[in-house]
Amino acid sequence: MMEQHVFHILRGYWKLYKEVIFFSGEMVARYDGVARYTNRETEVLLYREEGMLQMASGANMRAFQGYYFVMEKHLNVYFDEEKKRLFHTFSFLDSKEFPLRAKGEHYCKCDHYSVEYLFHHSDHYEVVYSVTGPKKNYRIFCTAMRA
């Protein structure tokens, strides 16, 4: 099962690089950081990332993010440990070997988050978030390499 395989390869430390770009092509921000997936329970991985966010304006700030990856019937990503706020569910495409592709979606009021994962192999994956809404219109491109 692809969900179980991906769940297990995520464990550990990752180096992250992100770019936030408006759909028009204008750069919004760049991010350099690290992430760690650690077991909270047998079927729960705590995801924590931290790094430096550099805005196109030149402003720099520390940035933090966290999620819970939970192996249930499917691999689900939650905002909270209580599993009350689902971010998205991995929906794997047909491939049974690398590269593996998965998608997910999340609606937050008027905004839509579309997530695409591409696992090149067990030490390299990419994520693209496409965010649209009345006041949002950008993509986040993330590259993760095992540290």
Whether the CB-CB separation of 53 and 63 falls below 8 Å is answered with yes
Based on its alpha-carbon atoms, the radius of gyration of the chain, rounded to whole angstroms, reads: 15
Count how many domains the chain has: 1
SS3 6: helix
95 pLDDT above the threshold of 90:
no
Q: What is the pLDDT of residues 7-60, one digit of tens each?
A: 999 999 999 999 999 999 999 999 999 999 999 999 999 999 999 999 999 999
- For residue 123, the domain's CATH number is 2.40.128.20
Q: Domain of residue 82: give its range.
A: 2-146
Q: What is the pLDDT of residues 130-146, one digit of tens each?
A: 999 999 999 999 999 99
Confidence of residue 94 (pLDDT cuts 50, 70, 90): confident
The CA distances from residue 60 to 52, 53, 74, 83, 119, in Å, are 7, 6, 37, 32, 30
Cα–Cα dist 116/131, whole Å: 12
